[in-house]
C-alpha cells in the first residue's frame, strides 16, 4: 500500500530518494506524512502601503523600471522597481541572476515573498506569476531538497497512490465527528485550495493522532489500576497534621488533601499531579502526603530541583517533624552524606528531602511509601522513573507551579489525575506590575534603594550572568557593579548558578536574614524561593523571558500581607514583547498567563517537545483545540469499551505509533 519505495514513483530518481532517506523518509507513506511545517497564504494581494515588515505577502505590481545588478560580499543581487496604486516597492533577488531576463518593464505580475521595510519597502526573493499561487506549503529546508523538489515529489506520490490510501478510522467515527477521509486530508494538508480545506485536513490528522494516543493513555491507566499498591490508613492524620501547622489551610488545600487521602487509601499506587500557582501553598500538601506515609511507618521522599529549595523544605519540615527529617544534597561532605544514607537505609529517616542526589544508586530506602516531586517540570522522565524504583510501587505526587492549560494537560498528563489549588492563602495582595521605560530606570533604582532603607528587600533579575561581546543583554556582573556605584548605601549581593554551592547558601541565608537589601540574580531564584520580606521584583531584559517564566519570577514576591511590586524593563520593542508585557500587567492568574503563553508561542515550545521528535510535534499540534481533544478522548474510551475487530485494529495501530513514546511524554 503506502509501504512502497520512493523510487517506484515516476519522477523520483535514486538520487532524490537517497536524499530523502537521509531524512528518514524511505517509503511513499513516510513522505506523505511529512506534513508542511508552515503555509504561506498567497490567496490575496496586499496593497503595498499595508505590508507588514517581516511577513510574507503577495502584491500585484507593475514592473516600473529596469532591473539593476550588484555584487556584494560574494553575492549577486538583482533589484527591480515596481509599484501598485498605493505605493512603490523594490523586488530583490539574491544569487538568482537569471531572473533578470524574466522581467519586462510595464508587465503586471503577482510577486510573493518576504517583506522588508527599511528605507522603503522591498520584497525578498519573490516568486512571480500571472495568477495568485494560493496557499503554499513550506517544508523543512534541507540540503539538496528544495521546496520545489518537496512539492513535486509529494505531488507525484499523491497522483500515483491517492486512490489506494487505506482508511484507518471506522466509517462511523468519521461520520460522528465530521472527519474527512485520510486520503483527502493528506491531499489538502499538502495542497490546500482554501483555508477551510486546510483546516479540515489538519483537524482530521490531529484527531487521528490524538485518538490513537489517548487509546494508549487509557490502556496504560487501566494497567496501573490493576497494580497492587499499599493501602494507607489515613485516620486521624489530617487532624494531627493541621494542629501542627501555624496557619489554617485554605478550602482549596483541604479539598486537595481530601483527594490525596482518597488516592492513598486505595490499594493502587497514587499517580497525581498537583497544579497550583506560585505561593498557593503546595508545600503543605506535600507534607500531608508524606505524613500519611509516616503514620503508616513508611518513608516519604520529597524531590526538589535546586539545593536552595531542598534546604528551604528541609528547614520547614524540620520545624515540625524534627529528627525524622533528613536532607540529602550533592554538595554534602562525605561524612554527612554517609550519615544521611545510613538513616535512609535503616528507616530512622521518615521524611527524606533532597535534590537529584536522591536518585543516585547508593541511596537505598528502608521502605519508601510515597514520593513527592516539587516543580516537576525540572525533572526528566528517567529521573522520576529512577525514583519510583526505590520503592515497591510507591504512591506518587508531582507538583507544578507552571500551570498547564487544560487542553495541554490532557495530552501531557493523560495518565495522571489532576488536583488544582485555585486559591491563595488569605491576606495576599496581588502583585502590582508595571512596565518601566528606559527613561525611568534610574528612578526605579532610586525607589528600590529608598525602600531598602525602610527594610523592604528586592530582587533584580538579569537574563545573563556575564556581559557578552556578541549580544547586548543585561548581566548580573555588570549590573551589580553599576548599582553599587549608583546606590552606595544599599547592600547588594549577587546570586547565580555559577557560584559555589556553599557561597550560594551563604548569600541566600543572609538574604533571608535581612542582611542583604537587593539580590542581583538570575533565574536561579525562579522556583520555590520563599522570602516574605522581599516585596520588589525588578526584571531587566524582560523581553528575554517567556510569559510563564516572568510569572514564576514575579511569584517570588507578594508572599506576605505587604503590597508587592513587579517592574519590567525591556529593550527592543516589538509586537510580541509588548503583548507579553501587557498580559503581565493585566493579570496575576497563572492559568490565564499559561493560556496566553500557549497562544503566543504555540504548544511546541511549551514543554520541551523536541525530545519527542516528529511524533510529539504532530501530537501537540492538536493541543490548541480543546474540543478536538475532548472528542478524541471520548472516542478512545468508547472504542475500548467495545471490544471487537475494529478496536483491536486501532489498538494495534496506536501501539505502533505511540506505544514507546507514551511513558516519556506522560511523565514529562
Ligand atoms: P508554593 O505553592 O509556591 O510552593 P508554598 O507552599 O511555598 O507555596 O507556600 C507559600 C507560603 O504560604 C509559605 O510561607 C507557607 O507557609 C504559606 N502558606 C501556605 N498555606 C497557607 C495558608 N493556608 N494560610 C497561610 N499561609 C499559608
Ligand atoms: Mg513550592
Lowest mean pLDDT among 39-53, 431-445, 583-597: 583-597
Report, as an integer, the average pLDDT of 497-512.
89
Mean pLDDT value across residues 425-449:
91
pLDDT tens, position by position, 159-204:
999 888 999 999 999 999 999 999 999 999 999 989 899 999 999 9
Look at residue 664 and tell me whether its pLDDT is greater than 50. no
Q: Is the CB of 428 under 6 A from ligand 1?
A: no
Which runs of E-coded beta strand occur in 64-204?
A: 68-72, 75-83, 88-94, 108-117, 121-129, 134-138
pLDDT band of residue 612 (cuts 50, 70, 90) is: very low
Domains along the chain? 1-37+140-166 (1.10.150), 39-135 (2.40.50.140), 237-421 (3.40.50.300), 432-587 (3.40.50.300)
Taking only the tens place, the pLDDT of each residue in 114-172 is: 999 888 899 999 988 999 999 999 888 777 788 889 999 999 999 999 888 999 999 99
Hey, whose CA ends up nearest to atom 23 of ligand 1?
249
Q: Which ligand does the CA of 556 lie closest to? A: 1
Under the banding of pLDDT at 50, 70 and 90, the label for residue 69 is confident
Q: For residues 668 and 664, what is the distance between their CA atoms, to the nearest angstrom?
A: 6
Give the position, in ligand 1's atom list, of the atom nearest the Cα of 283.
Answer: 6
Percent of the chain exceeding pLDDT 70 equals 92
Residue with cell 531576463: 101
**What gap in Å lies between CA 317 and CA 351, rounded to an integer?**
8
CA 330 vs CA 300, 537, 571: distances in Å: 19, 29, 38
Task: Please calculate the CA angle 587-592-597 and round it to the nearest 5 degrees.
Answer: 105
Is residue 502 scored above 80 in pLDDT?
yes
- pLDDT tens for residues 558-591? 888 899 999 999 876 666 677 888 899 999 888 8
When comparing pLDDT for 612 and 213, which is higher?
213
H-only helix segments in 513-612: 547-554, 575-586, 590-601, 603-606
Q: What is the pTM of this model?
A: 0.71
Can you tell me the mean pLDDT for 13-42? 89
Q: Give the list of residues 6+ apart from residue 518 with CB closer than 8 angstroms, or none.
A: 448, 452, 457, 458, 459, 460, 483, 490, 491, 492, 493
Q: Which residues contact 87 (CB under 8 A, 6 or more apart)?
A: 47, 48, 49, 121
Q: What is the mean pLDDT of the chain?
A: 88
For 208-355, where are the E strands, in sequence order?
271-276, 299-303, 325-328, 351-354
Provide mean pLDDT across the span 502-506.
Answer: 88
In the reported structure, the alpha carbon of residue 65 is separated from the centroid of ligand 1 by a whole-number distance in angstroms of: 70
Calculate how far, in angstroms, residue 280's C-alpha sits from the geometric centre of ligand 1: 6
Mutate to test the pocket of ligand 1, among 252, 255, 279 (most ligand atoms within 8 A of CB): 279
117 Cα–ligand 1 center, Å: 51
Q: Is the dihedral of CA 522, 525, 531, 535 positive or negative?
A: positive
| Cα–Cα dist 495/511, whole Å | 10
Residue 521 beta carbon below 6 angstroms from any ligand 1 atom = no
Neighbours of 644 (CB within 10 A): 9
CA of 434 to the centre of ligand 1 (A): 25
- pLDDT of the residue at 239: 95
Q: Which amino acid residue places its CA nearest to atom 20 of ligand 1?
A: 281
Check residue 528 and give its pLDDT: 65
Contact indicator for 280, 249 with CB cutoff of 8 Å: no
Q: Give me the pLDDT at residue 624, please.
A: 65
Q: Which three cell numbers stand for residue 269?
A: 499506587
Tens-place pLDDT, residues 451-500:
999 999 999 999 999 887 767 788 999 999 999 999 999 999 999 989 98
Protein residue whose Cα sits closest to atom 24 of ligand 1? 425
More confident residue, 527 or 353: 353
Give tens-digit pLDDT for 278-333. Answer: 888 999 999 999 999 999 999 999 999 888 889 989 999 999 999 999 999 988 99
| Nearest residue by C-alpha to atom 15 in ligand 1 | 281
Q: Are strands 271-276 and 395-400 parallel, antiparallel or unpaired?
A: parallel
Say if ligand 1 is within 6 A of residue 436 CB: no
Amino acid at each position: 500500500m503506502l509501504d512502497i519505495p520512493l523510487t517506484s514513483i515516476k519522477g523520483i530518481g535514486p538520487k532524490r530518494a537517497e536524499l530523502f532517506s537521509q531524512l528518514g523518509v524511505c517509503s511513499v507513506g513516510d513522505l506523505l506524512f511529512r506534513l508542511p511545517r508552515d503555509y504561506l497564504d498567497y490567496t490575496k494581494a496586499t496593497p503595498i502601503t499595508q505590508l507588514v515588515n517581516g511577513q510574507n505577502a503577495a502584491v500585484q505590481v507593475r514592473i516600473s523600471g529596469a532591473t539593476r545588478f550588484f555584487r556584494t560580499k560574494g553575492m549577486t543581487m538583482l533589484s527591480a522597481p515596481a509599484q501598485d496604486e498605493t505605493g512603490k516597492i523594490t523586488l530583490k533577488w539574491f544569487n538568482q541572476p537569471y531572473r533578470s531576463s524574466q522581467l519586462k518593464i510595464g508587465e503586471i505580475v503577482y510577486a510573493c515573498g518576504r517583506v522588508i521595510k527599511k528605507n522603503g519597502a522591498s520584497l525578498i526573493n519573490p516568486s512571480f506569476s500571472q495568477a495568485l499561487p494560493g496557499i503554499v506549503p513550506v517544508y523543512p529546508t534541507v540540503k539538496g531538497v528544495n521546496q520545489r523538489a518537496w512539492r513535486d515529489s509529494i505531488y507525484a506520490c499523491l497522483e500515483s497512490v491517492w486512490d489506494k490510501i487505506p482508511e484507518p478510522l471506522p466509517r462511523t467515527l468519521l461520520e460522528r465527528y465530521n472527519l474527512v477521509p485520510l486520503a483527502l486530508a493528506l491531499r489538502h494538508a499538502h495542497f490546500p485550495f482554501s483555508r477551510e480545506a486546510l483546516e479540515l485536513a489538519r483537524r482530521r490528522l490531529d484527531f487521528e493522532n490524538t485518538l490513537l494516543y489517548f487509546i494508549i493513555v487509557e490502556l496504560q491507566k487501566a494497567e496501573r489500576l490493576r497494580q497492587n499498591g499499599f493501602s494507607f490508613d489515613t485516620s486521624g492524620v489530617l487532624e494531627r497534621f493541621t494542629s501542627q501547622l501555624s496557619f489554617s489551610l485554605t478550602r482549596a488545600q483541604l479539598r486537595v488533601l481530601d483527594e490525596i487521602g482518597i488516592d492513598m487509601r486505595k490499594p493502587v499506587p497514587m499517580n497525581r499531579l498537583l497544579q497550583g500557582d506560585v505561593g498557593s501553598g503546595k508545600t503543605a500538601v506535600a507534607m500531608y502526603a508524606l505524613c500519611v506515609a509516616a503514620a503508616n511507618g513508611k518513608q516519604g521522599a520529597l524531590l526538589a530541583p535546586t539545593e536552595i529549595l531542598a534546604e528551604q523544605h528541609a528547614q520547614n519540615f524540620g520545624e515540625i517533624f524534627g529528627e525524622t527529617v533528613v536532607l540529602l544534597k550533592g554538595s554534602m561532605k562525605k561524612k554527612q552524606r554517609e550519615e544521611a544514607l545510613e538513616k535512609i537505609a535503616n528507616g530512622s529517616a521518615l521524611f527524606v528531602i533532597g535534590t537529584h542526589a536522591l536518585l543516585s544508586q547508593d541511596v537505598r530506602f528502608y521502605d519508601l511509601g510515597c514520593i513527592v516531586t516539587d516543580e516537576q517540570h525540572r525533572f526528566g522522565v528517567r529521573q522520576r522513573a529512577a525514583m519510583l524504583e526505590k520503592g515497591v510501587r510507591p504512591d506518587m505526587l508531582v507538583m507544578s507551579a507552571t500551570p498547564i492549560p487544560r487542553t495541554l494537560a490532557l495530552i501531557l498528563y493523560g495518565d495522571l489525575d489532576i488536583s488544582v489549588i485555585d486559591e491563595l492563602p488569605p491576606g495576599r495582595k496581588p502583585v502590582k506590575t508595571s512596565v518601566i521605560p528606559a527613561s525611568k530606570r534610574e528612578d526605579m533604582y532610586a525607589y528600590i534603594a529608598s525602600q531598602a532603607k525602610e527594610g523592604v528587600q528586592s530582587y533584580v533579575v538579569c537574563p545573563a550572568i556575564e556581559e557578552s561581546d556578541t549580544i547586548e543583554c543585561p548581566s548580573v556582573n555588570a549590573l551589580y557593579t553599576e548599582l553599587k556605584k549608583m546606590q552606595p548605601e544599599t547592600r547588594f549581593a549577587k546570586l547565580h548558578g555559577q557560584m559555589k554551592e556553599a557561597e550560594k547558601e551563604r548569600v541566600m541565608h543572609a538574604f533571608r536574614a535581612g542582611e542583604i537589601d537587593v539580590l542581583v540574580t538570575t533565574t536561579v531564584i525562579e522556583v520555590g524561593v520563599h522570602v516574605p520580606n522581599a516585596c520588589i521584583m525588578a526584571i531587566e531584559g524582560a523581553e528575554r523571558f517567556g510569559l510563564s517564566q516572568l510569572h514564576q519570577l514575579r511569584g517570588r514576591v507578594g508572599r506576605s500581607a505587604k503590597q508587592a511590586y513587579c517592574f519590567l524593563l525591556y529593550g527592543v520593542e516589538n509586537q510580541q514583547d509588548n503583548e507579553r508585557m501587557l498580559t503581565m500587567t493585566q493579570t496575576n492568574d497563572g492559568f490565564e498567563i499559561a493560556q496566553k503563553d500557549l497562544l503566543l508561542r504555540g504548544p511546541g515550545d511549551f514543554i520541551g517537545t523536541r525530545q519527542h521528535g516528529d511524533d510529539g510535534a504532530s501530537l501537540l499540534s492538536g493541543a490548541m483545540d480543546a474540543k478536538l481533544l475532548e472528542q478524541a478522548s471520548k472516542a478512545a474510551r468508547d472504542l475500548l469499551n467495545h471490544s471487537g475487530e475494529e478496536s483491536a485494529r486501532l489498538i494495534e495501530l496506536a501501539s505502533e505509533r505511540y506505544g514507546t513514546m507514551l511513558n516519556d511524554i506522560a511523565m514529562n
